[in-house]
Amino acid sequence: MQIAKRGRAAVAICSSAFLTLGRAQARALGHAELPIAVIAHPFGVRTRDEVRVLADGCVDEVVKLATGHNTK
Amino acid sequence: MTSSHRAAELIEAPDDFDAINKLYRERKWSDGLPIVPPTQERVARMLAGTQRARNEVVAQLAPGFAEATVENIAINAVMAGCEPAYLPVLIAAVEACADQAFNLQAIQATTNPVAIWVILNGPLAKTLEVNATFNCIGEGSWANATIGRALRLILRNVGGALPGEMDRATQGQPGKFTFCCAENEADSPWEPLHVERGYAKSASTVTVVGAEGTMNMNSHSKDAAELVHVFAETMIHPPSNEYTHGGEPWLMIGPEHAEILQRGGIDKSELKRRLWEASKMRAGLMSVKDRQRVIDSRSEELGPITLDTMLPISTRPEEICIMVAGGPGTHSVYIPCFGNSFAATREIRP
């Protein structure tokens, strides 16, 4: 949010179960259009290796949300 | 805080208790229990309980960051069934909740069941008949029930923390309906909580605590040192935010236990020191993932953390908080807290 307020590219990453909270907070803090990349919930029970797989799976979306362009 | 000219929305509704409650349920303005309809007349009577202007902004409340004004605090106070004399208490409680160290943002949006426990001290607690003895955190006292309820209504209706939406509590707890009492200063052998926290004895204050739950400690021990160990063993609790982050745990000591401790030469300060030592918990009691959270959170404070590291429940003994409440009986209450929050106290002003 603070990065977005400075006019820089900013993406939040949120697990699916918390998307409602994420969007509500973005609206409350004046950035309803804050890009949010969504990953499957639950996140906290994952091993570090599983987290790396999740990260690989969402990197294209994060890049697209941050830049407006696809990675490919 | 600043003044604001933003007035509450006036809505037309049928002059019917059931119809109004149906409307409030549909709009998610109720905590699940019937509310007292906040008519203009009732709100005006409530506002007479304070000298502050109705449009004064008291605080911005996370996680929605809407402004809590004297007026919308009064509206929720009416809904909860409060007397007008309770309004200054609620205003002070809202101010306290907005204290940065209290971390309302985290408390309101967490999966943790944390509820806000409201503690009153000073002469006003007696004047308003806020219960500090039998069933002080149970049912039966109008002030206790409605003040705690009103604060929760404010935090959801103004702060925006609706269950399942911004409030992500996995199960929640009954304390989220209401959780309010006074300290039993009359039966305490120690200085009152608000004096310990820097206020004059003659001042009236409200303290807000992010309370995870309550755990009864029923001990018939008459030995002070033994009683300390009973309390400390109760505090040891592996799936605990306190040990994970170095928190601020609370104990509500029953008057009989307080007398035993005092007779044994243990005052509040000594009690905190002994509890801090005796409640250190071996890190190996925690799950692998929970221990990793401790490593992430407390390595700077504690150094390398292994299975055999003895984790203190808080960073310092002084962060264990003690108050005295309850009636006769061999009971005290351990109240573990959110871990990422520190209690806040404000003086109650008219």
Using 50, 70 and 90 to split pLDDT, how confident is the model at B295?
very high
Write the pLDDT tens digit of every residue in A38-63. Answer: 888 877 677 788 888 888 888 888 88
Q: What is the mean pLDDT of residues B230-251?
A: 95
| A21/B109 Cβ within 8 A | yes
C-beta of residue B58 within 8 angstroms of C-beta of residue B91: yes
Using 50, 70 and 90 to split pLDDT, how confident is the model at B242?
very high
Alpha-carbon gap: A61 to the closest alpha carbon of chain B (Å): 25
| B65/A20 Cβ within 8 A | no
Alpha-carbon gap: A38 to the closest alpha carbon of chain B (Å): 16
C-beta of residue A58 within 8 angstroms of C-beta of residue A12: no
Helix (H) / strand (E) element for B207: namely strand B205-211
Both tokens assigned to B257: 């236990």
Write the pLDDT tens digit of every residue in B128-139. Answer: 999 999 999 999
Q: Over pLDDT 70: what percentage of chain B?
A: 98
Say which DSSP state B210 is in: E
- C-alpha–C-alpha distance, residues B147 and B144, integer Å: 6
Alpha-carbon gap: B122 to the closest alpha carbon of chain A (Å): 37
| B65/A24 Cβ within 8 A | no
Write the pLDDT tens digit of every residue in B68-92. Answer: 999 999 999 999 999 999 999 999 9
Alpha-carbon gap: A9 to the closest alpha carbon of chain B (Å): 23
List chain A residues with CB under 8 Å of B66.
28
Q: What is the mean pLDDT of residues B7-29?
A: 90
pLDDT higher than 60, residue B5: no
By DSSP bridging, strand B344-347 and strand B205-211 are: antiparallel
ipTM of the complex, rounded to two decimals: 0.70
Within chain B, residue ranges assigned H as helices are 17-26, 40-47, 70-80, 87-97, 104-109, 123-127, 142-157, 193-196, 224-235, 241-245, 255-263, 268-278, 288-302
Nearest to B165 among A24, A44, A45 (CB): A24
Both tokens assigned to B86: 């309770």
CB atoms within 10 A of CB B167: 21
CB atoms within 10 A of CB A45: 8
Nearest to B65 among A17, A20, A28 (CB): A28
| B166/A29 Cβ within 8 A | no
Both tokens assigned to B226: 């033994």
C-beta of residue B58 within 8 angstroms of C-beta of residue B95: yes
Arithmetic mean of pLDDT over chain B: 95
Where do the structural domains in chain A lie, given as residue ranges?
2-67
CB atoms within 10 A of CB B138: 11
Interface test with A, best of B166, B167, B287, B288 (most A CBs within 10 A): B166
Alpha-carbon gap: A17 to the closest alpha carbon of chain B (Å): 9
| B64/A20 Cβ within 8 A | no
List chain B residues with CB under 8 Å of A45.
289
List chain A residues with CB under 8 Å of B109.
21, 25
pLDDT, residue A70, reads 62
| B166/A20 Cβ within 8 A | yes
* B61: closest chain A residue by CA: A28
pLDDT, residue B1, reads 45
CA distance to B27, B34, B79, B323, per residue, from B31 (Å): 11, 8, 10, 29
| B63/A20 Cβ within 8 A | no
Chain B contact for A18, CB < 8 A? yes
Write the pLDDT tens digit of every residue in A6-39. Answer: 777 788 888 888 888 888 888 888 888 888 988 8
Q: What is the mean pLDDT of residues B172-198?
A: 97
Chain B contact for A43, CB < 8 A? no
